[in-house]
Structure formats: structure tokens, C-alpha cells
């Protein structure tokens, strides 16, 4: 009887785990639109994935741009990226573990790959 109870306890523990897999990739496999949310408190430009989810890009090296720059900063995909509202892009990303968002429209991410694939597209706005 103990092994039977132990089996069900183990089964319960396994079934109660959250196996939700976050969408992440270092390769440019996700299509998105650049959306300008600068009119909302604490927001700037975000990426809206084709499934409607929003990604808030954060810079891996903090916010201070005074010299000397951290090693690798100029290789970051966002280093010289020109945000244009409605622009179509392909991107890869990793979830940013630290920090909180003032904007709170989507998940904060480190962009690992970024390619412009079109100049303008229709974007859905958050009102």
C-alpha cells in the first residue's frame, strides 16, 4: 500500500509542474512589427509578434551610455537599430530575468538577432 500511495504522490507532483515553454531563440525565427508606444507612461518601442504578444526589448548592459562601453555592447543587435513604427522585422530573443517593467505590455527580452524584413505594416495599438 505504501508503494501505491508513493506512486500517486509522485504522479501528482509531476502533473502539477508547469511545463509552459517560453518562446525563445537566438536565431531570427520570429516575425514581428515595431510598435511605437512612447505615448503611454513608461513605454517606448516594443515588438509585436505575429501571434499578438508584445516583447519589451531591454539592453543587456544597463542604461548608462558613458564611456567606456562594456565589452560586447557594440555587437548587440539593438546597438544601431533605428526603430520605425510599423516596420517588419525578424528577431530572436531570450527572456530577461532581472528588472521590472514600467510599461507592462509584454515580456522583457534581450534581443539576440534582429533583421529588418519590411518598411511598414499594419500594427495593432494598445489603447
Rounded to two decimals, the pTM is 0.70
Q: What is the pLDDT of residue 47?
A: 97
Q: How confident is the model at residue 14 (pLDDT cuts 50, 70, 90)?
A: very low
Q: What is the pLDDT of residue 75?
A: 85
CA–CA dist 30, 55 (Å, integer) = 11
| Choice between 17 and 75, residue whose per-residue pLDDT is larger | 75
Domain topology for 23-118: OB fold (Dihydrolipoamide Acetyltransferase, E2P) (2.40.50)
| Choice between 71 and 9, residue whose per-residue pLDDT is larger | 71
**Computed from CA positions of residues 101, 105, 110, 115, in that sequence, does the dihedral angle turn out positive or negative?**
negative
Domain boundaries, the chain: 23-118
Amino acid at each position: 500500500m505504501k508503494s501505491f500511495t508513493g506512486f500517486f504522490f509522485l504522479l501528482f507532483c509531476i502533473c502539477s509542474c508547469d511545463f509552459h515553454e517560453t518562446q525563445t531563440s537566438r536565431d531570427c525565427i520570429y516575425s514581428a512589427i515595431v510598435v511605437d508606444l512612447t505615448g503611454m507612461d513608461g513605454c517606448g518601442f516594443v515588438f509585436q509578434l505575429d501571434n499578438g504578444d508584445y516583447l519589451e526589448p531591454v539592453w543587456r548592459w544597463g542604461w548608462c551610455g558613458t564611456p567606456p562601453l562594456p565589452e560586447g555592447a557594440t555587437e548587440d543587435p539593438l546597438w544601431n537599430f533605428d526603430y520605425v513604427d510599423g516596420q517588419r522585422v525578424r528577431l530572436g530573443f531570450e527572456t530577461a530575468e532581472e528588472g521590472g517593467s514600467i510599461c507592462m505590455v509584454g515580456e522583457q527580452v534581450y534581443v539576440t538577432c534582429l533583421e529588418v524584413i519590411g518598411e511598414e505594416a499594419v500594427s495593432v495599438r494598445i489603447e
